[in-house]
Amino acid sequence: MSVRRILVVGLGNPGEAYRNTYHSAGNIVLNALRNQMADTQPSFKVARHGKKSTEASIGPKYSFLQSPCVMNVTGTWFARAYREHLIDNGLSPAELGVVLVHDDLEEELGVVKIRDWARSHRGHNGIKSVNASLKADPEGKWARVSIGIGRPVERERASVSDYVLSKIPRHARGILEEKGGAGLLAALMDLERKWEAS
């Protein structure tokens, strides 16, 4: 059965204090992609998804959602939004592709990689929360797309936490938006081809 719609969810922390931090790279890049697809993908607007007010862009093929939850507790909302999306669109799990977009400390700034859904979370609390709340339906198509944010020289937990929650400088945000947006679009095209062939 072919994929009829693709649900793309960006991970990040809500609120003005965290919107422009490295940990919110998933949402930043998803927004950049929406801007690149302005001819076919509507602007983000606040709507109810997963029982929460969510920044959403619902187009003819893609549904872009920006997680409205604190990273560590994203999973419950994500599971609700996924199930709601199936019901509201009259889809079976096999007809919905699901893509989770998240930041990645192990890649250079703006580098985009397709990751297997079941691949290790490598300590990412948002991915851990999603995995704890939702088991991927074997009938469905699932993937993660990681967005490189680089990492601090110091590897201890406190330094890493401070880094991911730090404000992104203007030049770094420009790299994320340009490279990340184009990379995410290419990743979605690759996933569509792979899913249609399977």
CATH number reported for the structural domain that contains residue 30 in this entry: 3.40.50.1470
Q: Which amino acid is at 67?
A: S
DSSP secondary structure, 113-150, as one string: EEEETTS--TT-HHHHHHHHH-PPPTTSEEEEEEEE--
Dig out the tokens for 150 from the structure: 């680089």
Q: What is the pLDDT of residue 157?
A: 78
C-alpha–C-alpha distance, residues 8 and 145, integer Å: 10
Global model pTM greater than 0.85: yes
Q: How much of the chain exceeds pLDDT 70, in percent?
A: 99
Q: What is the pLDDT of residue 171?
A: 95
Tens digit of each residue's pLDDT (9 = 90 or more) over 56-102: 999 999 999 999 999 989 999 999 999 999 999 999 999 999 999 99
> Which of the four pLDDT bands, split at 50, 70 and 90, describes residue 1?
low
Range 102-113 average pLDDT: 94
- Please check whether residue 91 is in contact with residue 63, taking contact to mean a CB–CB distance below 8 angstroms: no
Quote the number of domains for the chain: 1
* Structural domain containing residue 166: 5-197
Tens digit of each residue's pLDDT (9 = 90 or more) over 116-166: 998 877 778 899 999 999 999 999 999 999 999 998 777 777 888 899 999
> Which of the four pLDDT bands, split at 50, 70 and 90, describes residue 112?
very high
Burial group, residue 11, by CB count within 10 angstroms (0-12, 13-18, 19+): buried
Q: Which amino acid is at 154?
A: E
The residues that are catalytic are 23
